[in-house]
Amino acid sequence: MDFVEGEIIGFDKPYRWTSFDVVGKTRWLLCHRLGKKKLKVGHTGTLDPLATGVVVVCTGKKTKLIDQLQQHIKEYVATLQLGATTPSYDLEKPIDATYPTAHITRELVEQVIPTFLGEQWQVPPMFSAVKVDGKRAYELARKGKEVALKPKLLTIDEIEILRFDAETMQLEIRVVCSKGTYIRALARDIGERLHSGAHLIALRRTRVGDIRVEDCINFEQFQALIENETEDTK
């Protein structure tokens, strides 16, 4: 493999790592092993720190493909907790409100979930990387400032119920969607459409384009890979 000329690498991002952590660790490992001071490295789409799964990283000249690769569809498996919301729509912030759930049945869930298929207007979360007047929305949100974010048009190609537990009010879904879809915001919208509330308690990105999570590597495997590659070239 020629990381300077350019490679595309699928990583299974660990929990609580940012996408920038993945890029930084990749760059450090490659520069350290290849004896270089600089190397172009970038990712093709941000994944929240509390999510795991596919993060695609490009190196060298393949970074020119990042804009193209960012357009690829993405697949997620998400677990929602119904009946409660948080300001971040996930576990980053504590629960700020609870809602009735006695009316939520499997039948109601099966009626509501298909209504999210196709084109949707979605308001991004305040705790997101969307830019507002040159600043990230999450920076403003963490300072207690509220900003009205504009809705964005996106497409949900597939959405299905994987599991619904009426006792715990937890709902697991699989979603195939376009670039720019916030699954946290989708959780919020599902809760509202169920006449209740909801937030994410688990999220895993299982596919980006043709790169599936089962084909991705972790950083121990990546370190072993580059050590073998560089040994072979000595």
**pLDDT tens digits, residue range 170-227?**
999 999 999 999 999 999 999 999 999 999 999 999 999 999 999 999 999 999 988 8
Mean pLDDT (whole number) for 145-153: 82
From the list 12, 48, 90, 189, the catalytic residue is 48
Calculate the alpha carbon distances from 117 to 78, 107, 208 in Å: 16, 17, 19
**pLDDT band, residue 101 (cuts 50/70/90):** very high
- pLDDT for residue 234: 43
Assess whether pLDDT exceeds 70 at residue 59.
Answer: yes
Assess whether pLDDT exceeds 70 at residue 167.
Answer: yes
Q: What percent of the chain has pLDDT over 70?
A: 90
Q: Which amino acid is at 225?
A: L
Run of H or E residues at 225: helix 219-232
Assess whether pLDDT exceeds 90 at residue 115.
Answer: yes
Assess whether pLDDT exceeds 80 at residue 131.
Answer: no
**What is the full DSSP assignment across 105-123?**
-HHHHHHHGGGG-EEEEEP
Mean pLDDT (whole number) for 148-175: 95
Nearest to 56 by CA among 169, 220, 209: 209
Assess whether pLDDT exceeds 80 at residue 130.
Answer: no
- Average model confidence (pLDDT) across the chain: 91
Mean pLDDT (whole number) for 20-46: 92
Mean pLDDT (whole number) for 11-36: 93
**pLDDT band, residue 137 (cuts 50/70/90):** low
| Catalytic site includes residue 157 | no
For residues 179 and 45, the answer to whether their CB atoms sit within 8 Å is yes
Strands 211-212 and 74-82 come out as unpaired
Assess whether pLDDT exceeds 90 at residue 148.
Answer: no
Assess whether pLDDT exceeds 70 at residue 144.
Answer: no
